Amino acid sequence: NKVDMDFFVQANNGKLIATQAIMHKVDGKKRKYHLEN
């Protein structure tokens, strides 16, 4: 399966930490709860 994901990243003591992942699409199909128009 191909997925389209975004990650929220923040800096912490000179390192980047992913704090949240959001899956937008699976196999080219938007998730039911997707909020983007």
Q: Where are the domains of the chain?
A: 1-32
- Helix (H) / strand (E) element for 12: namely strand 3-12
Phi and psi at residue 18, to the nearest 5°: -75, 120
- Whole-number pLDDT of residue 30: 84
Cβ atoms 12, 19 nearer than 8 A = no
Helices marked H in the chain: none
pLDDT of residue 37: 59
Compute the distance between CA of residue 10 and CA of residue 21 in angstroms, rounded to an integer: 12
Residue-wise pLDDT for 1-37, tens only, equals 899 998 999 999 999 999 999 888 889 888 877 666 5
Q: Which residues pair with 6 in a beta bridge?
A: 22
